[in-house]
Each structure stands twice: as C-alpha cells, then as structure tokens.
Amino acid sequence: MSPGDHAAITRRFTDRDIAEFAALSGASPAEGVPEPLIAALFSRILGVDLPGPGTNYLKQTLRLLAPAPVGQPLTARVTITRLRREKHLVDLATTCHAADGTLICEGRALVLARDVAR
C-alpha cells in the first residue's frame, strides 16, 4: 500500500434499487440516487479492494456537487493520499463521477487498516 494507489467500482442504480432503499429507510423515493447509496460505493471499495478486508471506517466526509442520475453508470474511486503506518491509518481521497464525467461528489475518508504497516 502506497500513496497514489487507487481502486474504483462502477455501479448502475435502477428505479427498483431506489424504491427498495426508500422502503428500507422510510425515506421518500428520490429523483436521483440517494446520497447513502453513493456513500455505500466507497464502503464497498474500502472493505473489499483498498485497503480491503479488516478495514474499519473512522471518518468520511462527502461534498455533493450534482445529482446522481438513476440508470446511468456511476464510478466511485478512492485514492490513498497518506499512510500513517505506526498507527495503521490510511487517508484517502474519494470521488464519484457520472458516465458523462460530471463530478457527483468528492470527499475524504480515514480508515484503520491492518495491513498498512507492511
């Protein structure tokens, strides 16, 4: 693991996904992809790909810049910006783009990762 390492995932949320999220959360169905579903993309990357299994979220910030279109591919990406090996901490930049390149959101994440000391 090194600064500059990155991982991404592309996901298309459907009207059915939005309806199921609304039913589970009790929220009214949104016109675009709800923010928690976008944030979940980052959780998936961090827990599965980079840093990977055993990662614990400590902090996340997201600044939403544009609505996320339903039915279109969204690409979430995390990039390591800093490692604090002695504390097993990883700082990451997070972004999500629509298929046309529109920046949907950007932010930061701080995680505790067991393999950072390597």
pTM confidence score: 0.89
The tens digit of pLDDT for each residue in 26-85 reads 887 777 899 999 999 999 999 999 988 889 999 999 999 999 999 999 999 999 999 999
**Domain 6-112, classified CATH 3.40.50.2300, yes or no:** no
The tens digit of pLDDT for each residue in 90-103 reads 999 999 999 999 99
Rounded distance between C-alpha atoms, residue 115 and residue 117, angstroms: 6
Domain map of the chain by residue range?
Answer: 6-112
